[in-house]
């Protein structure tokens, strides 16, 4: 369910399992489902495109029974085309690839749709919104990275707000409705400005999965921040 609404659009909270307890992953995924999250994100890193290694398709397959909503796979990898089918078969509902890693981006987006998933493109902090000019109408989602990808727990890059607004403006100009997702340093203290800029899907890692608060308390804090 949404955590709120802005300009007539539902605002979704998407926990990232990168910050979950890997020894208790099924229960942490189920906890996100139980508090009301409609999306959950799986950050896939290859140790090459970004300096970290994370989840393969077997992890997607293992957590799929614990979550009823959208399993959002964010491919932070150098060769996303080689992995699309494996993650779709494992249970992904949505797949996002990086503009910087996709040599033939239009073909990649087409392939994601052919596999029965919705498709998104992620932009790193230094990648301009103008790089989406020739692909925006084909996208179901645009992901603005508000930190440099690779590790959780980083601070939000404030310049990302202008970038979110630029994506909203581009979508409005093209009369195209797509999810604007924001990932990195998102927390209750800054989500009002992120949503005001035009975001509709907020990734929360350490602000959702934490040793100091429960997922239910985190959900309530995000809801209250948009009230």
Confirm or deny that 16 is annotated as ligand binding.
yes
List the strands of the sheet with 9-15, edge to edge.
4-6, 9-15, 201-204, 179-183, 141-145, 118-123, 94-98, 70-76, 39-45
Confirm or deny that 150 is annotated as ligand binding.
yes
Q: Is 133 labeled as catalytic in the residue annotation?
A: no
Confirm or deny that 198 is annotated as ligand binding.
no
Confirm or deny that 4 is annotated as ligand binding.
no
Catalytic residue among 28, 46, 140, 183: 183
Confirm or deny that 56 is annotated as ligand binding.
no
Confirm or deny that 205 is annotated as ligand binding.
yes
Confirm or deny that 113 is annotated as ligand binding.
no
Catalytic residue among 28, 43, 72, 140: 43
Confirm or deny that 206 is annotated as ligand binding.
yes
Q: Is 81 labeled as catalytic in the residue annotation?
A: no
Query: What secondary structure, in 3-state letters, does the chain show?
Result: CCCEEECCEEEEEEEEHHHCCHHHHHHHHHHHHHHCCCEEEEEEEECCCCCCECCCHHHHHHHHHHCCCEEEEEEECCCHHHCHHHHHHHCCCEEEEEHHHCCCHHHHHHHHHHCCCEEEEEECCCCCHHHHCCCHHHCCEEEEECCCCCCCCCCCCCCHHHHHHHHHHHHHHHCCCCEEEEECCCCCCCHHHHHHHCCCEEEECCCCCCCCCCHHHHHHHHHHHHC
Which residues carry a binding-site annotation for substrate?
16, 74, 150-153, 183-185, 205-206
Give me the active site residues, please.
43, 183
- Detail the residues annotated as belonging to a binding site for a divalent metal cation: 43, 74, 183
Binding-site residues from annotation: 16, 43, 74, 150-153, 183-185, 205-206
């Amino acid at each position: 369910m949404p955590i709120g609404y802005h300009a007539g659009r539902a605002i979704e909270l998407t926990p990232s399992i990168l910050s979950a307890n890997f020894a208790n992953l099924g229960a942490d995924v189920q906890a996100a489902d139980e508090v009301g999250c409609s999306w959950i994100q799986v950050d896939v890193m290859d140790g090459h495109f970004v300096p970290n290694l994370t989840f393969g398709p077997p992890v997607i397959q293992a957590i799929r029974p614990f979550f009823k909503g959208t399993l959002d796979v964010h491919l932070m990898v150098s060769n996303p085309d080689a992995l699309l089918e494996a993650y779709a078969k494992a249970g992904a509902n949505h797949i996002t690839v990086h503009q910087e890693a996709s040599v033939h981006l239009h073909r990649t987006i087409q392939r994601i749709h052919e596999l029965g998933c919705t498709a998104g493109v992620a932009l790193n902090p230094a990648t301009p919104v103008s790089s989406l000019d020739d692909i925006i109408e084909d996208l179901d989602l645009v992901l603005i990275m508000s930190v440099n990808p690779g590790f959780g727990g980083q601070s939000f890059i404030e310049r990302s707000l202008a970038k979110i607004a630029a994506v909203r403006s581009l979508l409005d100009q093209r009369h195209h409705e797509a999810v604007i997702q924001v990932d990195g340093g998102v927390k209750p203290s800054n989500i009002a400005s992120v949503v005001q800029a035009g975001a509709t899907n907020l990734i929360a890692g350490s602000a959702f999965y934490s040793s100091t608060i429960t997922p239910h308390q985190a959900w309530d804090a995000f809801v209250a921040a948009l009230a």
